[in-house]
Structure 1
């Protein structure tokens, strides 16, 4: 990752996000984030594409800007608090041709902590037909950090993805209930992946041969070699990178009647190419016992951002009650693998004759997902409104769950309140939400070939059960959000 002192980088770091491994549980499928607006969060984002309450419509449906008068701003922040822990875990180390050595260590602790997601949106009415807007928000994010002695440390340690989007938008309307909008999401993202390197396959045979050379029996040499493996200092791999990309959003809003309107918003996908460096510290110097060095190589990590489409409907049941519903489809099947690719020839880590060598491969094969939302607003008084919402959120992680992304389907329940002073133009929204998971994810993660990710890697002839991590996780999360809006 490139260390930057620019304002952009400081803003990105301020927008520190939540949750890869189990925190992927807090996300709107994959590594998208639900918590972009307190006003929408109060109804679990139900009907957000058809309910332009304030300037946050820049994000949910740029066509909604046409229903806002004058100049509008909205700004706020959400807090995510995630509890994600492995309740059962074991890992087998890479030792071809020998009886297995199980990794020692802990369950890894709570791998996710609280995170803050700020946002800012603004719209301006140019004339009766045209509105423009701008937003700064955190659309994607992942973060997990296991304890250093985690039993699965050879599969995952730290995982981070931080992203911030700048969203200029425009909308036009025909004066007869139809509005259209478009926007660009300029995304800056930076990521980090770390884990410990398992050198058991190298340490064991060397220690075994040394013990035999000193007159030990095979059984004694085996015990000595296993002790050498358990007492060996594991090298530490750290990969960092960043990139800038863009997606495009279009939206439509149509008033079916004075009580009902529908909205549709669609976003293109893209692929970020996080470029940076890979370093492996404490790597043993060949032929020099006890001496280590640090290896470094330029790398990139391709990261797919999915296409998505959101439909929303708003119906005013009465002057006091509004019903909202919506659905979002996301093409997460774009995310097939997590690869770390060399950007140089004859690097210190790969020593490959040309760039493009794969340093590390993790099979993902995510599935496309749906999210369904229902919500309601009760205008209790001219100033106060109460909100509630429910969403069913499908996890894209199906067959290939990993220590970095143990996830499951979830139910999202939210409550919100809104205070509005029509005379001054100030509005205050607050919302809270909780996530309930359909099950505790349990899985076995293995090493896979890049050429055929459906097959376990052939570590040695005759080996049927290579190294693995097996875990069962318990997930829970809650969030809270506040937002201040002003119309001029």
Structure 2
């Protein structure tokens, strides 16, 4: 009975924890999908090639070169995908309680099919001033692993959505040079679920939900060097969020001893998470070779080294009730805070593309982007199964009338294979590794298909 009591005390004293991170369709948390026209060319030239109102989200100066009142609306659709194979292994508790646990298996399609809508409006006020309004998602994630996958004790569902509402003002200093600024109101909402507690002994269903809003900005310039070439540069500010929400925990353990042992947790506590979405700097070049051919290129640097940790801090302890263990009080409290070191690195993305005007009404696009990941084999987690990406894209634009055009695009995104070896960290300082929780190891092999469509109306 002494060993059983010791084991159950360890069960009761261990907190249920949640890691808070994400995997997206751009490196880190980033989303590129704010325009079907730029997606067709691998997002190359998105800060220097003002083809429609969607340039506002990529370079606010660009709308000075959009001649008419223009409405650009559409959506990308990221299809389900993802593949993982590996195992979770937990060491045994003191005998004779259990002999540890090992789960092996393979899971697929944990990246959920997700729409990414966007909308942009550009309106010239006079020959020098143009104003605009945009709504788009700069960051986001939708993961949902199967219930029986080997890493269920580290993460099940991950949903993080960031929405930007941007007002844009662009000023044409000269006929060949413009500067623009965008003021951004950003909103984030997150939900994460996990089976936590002590794996296979006291499984606890844990859910974290929270939201916040903040302000940001971007500033950019476009210089038309000559009739054939434009250069664009843009800076996007960081977005600092404090997610206020709660941690819900539920779980129960019953042991048919004499007297029977019953351990129950059913509580909800307030919690918060500080998170910063990093600043970005981009340089784009557009070169029109002749009336039919245009070449575009882009280089973007993102300061993901700001992302050091995720620390979900609970504002009070969770209450755990027990009966049948005489050495313990009827109610025990434990801190449900969670911590995971991220230590991401700064990254680059490079893209090249081209467009070809095959007829007066038809334009074709091709592109490629190499998208560096801030994650490697040392810091990959089940909520950030990230790796370097290769984007292969194509698209087309159809203009049936002078006022109306439609853009469509397709992207095949191939990620490098990535190994994972993730342990659990204690939620309270000094945040040491909790060796009793076990470790998930394995390999990710992910790829994605994305389609996008956009309607442009000039009035």
Are the structure 2 counterparts of residues 47 and 280 from structure 1 closer, same or farther at C-alpha, using a change threshold of 3 Å? same
Deviations 1:238-275 (A, max 9, x none): 11100111221001001111111100011111221111
Partner of 2:403: 425
Normalising by structure 2, we get a TM-score of 0.86
Q: Report matched runs for 1:377-388 at 5 Å.
A: 377-388=355-366
2:433 aligned residue: 457
2:223 matches 1:254 = yes
Q: Say whether the 8 Å CA contact 2:139–2:162 is kept in structure 1.
A: yes
| Distance (Å, rounded) in 2 between the aligned partners of 1:474 and 1:346 | 39
Residue ranges of structure 2 left out of the alignment (5+ in a row)? 1-20, 321-331
- Which SS does the other structure have where 2:61 is aligned? helix
8 Å contact from structure 2 (residues 27, 387) kept in 1: no
Aligned mates of 2:445, 2:358 — CA distance in 1 = 39
Alignment partner for residue 263 of structure 1, among 228, 232, 248? 232
| Aligned partner (choices 20, 30, 35) of residue 32 of structure 1 | 30
2:77, 2:115 within 8 Å by CA — same for their partners in 1?
A: yes
Q: Tell me the CA shift for residue 478 of structure 1.
A: 0.8
Residue by residue over 1:163-206, the C-alpha shift from the partner in whole angstroms, topping out at 9 and shown as x without a partner, is 21111110001224110000022111110122112426xxxxxx
Report how far residue 76 of structure 1 moved.
Answer: 0.6
Greater share of residues in helix: 1
Report the 3-state secondary structure (helix = DSSP H, G, I; strand = E; otherwise coil) of the residue aligned with 1:39. Answer: helix
What does residue 314 of structure 1 align with? 286
Q: Structure 1's 49 and 241: CA in aligned 2 closer, same or farther, altered over 3 A?
A: same
1:365: Cα distance to partner?
A: 0.8
Matches within 5 A, 1:162-201: 162-199=161-198
TM-score by length of 1: 0.81
Q: Which has the higher strand share?
A: 2
Seen in structure 2, the aligned counterparts of structure 1 residues 176 and 143 have a Cα distance that, compared at 3 Å, is same
> 1:445, 1:328 → 2: CA distance?
30
**1:44-443 aligned within 5 A:** 44-87=42-85, 89-93=86-90, 95=92, 101-104=100-103, 106-199=105-198, 230=200, 232=201, 234-284=203-253, 289-290=261-262, 292-342=264-314, 344-345=315-316, 348=319, 359-398=337-376, 399-421=378-400, 424-438=402-416, 440-443=417-420
Q: Structure 2 vs 1, CA of residues 285 and 302 (structure 1 numbering), >3 Å: closer, same or farther? A: farther
Deviation digits for residues 447-481 of structure 1 (CA, Å, limit 9, x no counterpart): 2357567xx62658xxxxx6111121221111111
Alpha-carbon distance in 2 for matches of 1:365, 1:481: 33
1:93–1:198 Cα contact (<8 Å) kept: no
SS of 2:63's equivalent in the other structure is helix
Q: Could you tell me how far apart the structure 2 residues matched to 1:37 and 1:120 are?
A: 9
Residues 43-82 of structure 1 show CA distances to partners (whole Å, capped at 9, x for unaligned) of 0110110001011011011101111123110001111113
Long gaps (5+) in structure 1: 1-19, 201-229, 461-465
Q: How many residues matched?
A: 422
SS in 1 for 2:28: coil
Q: CA RMSD of the aligned region, Å?
A: 2.5
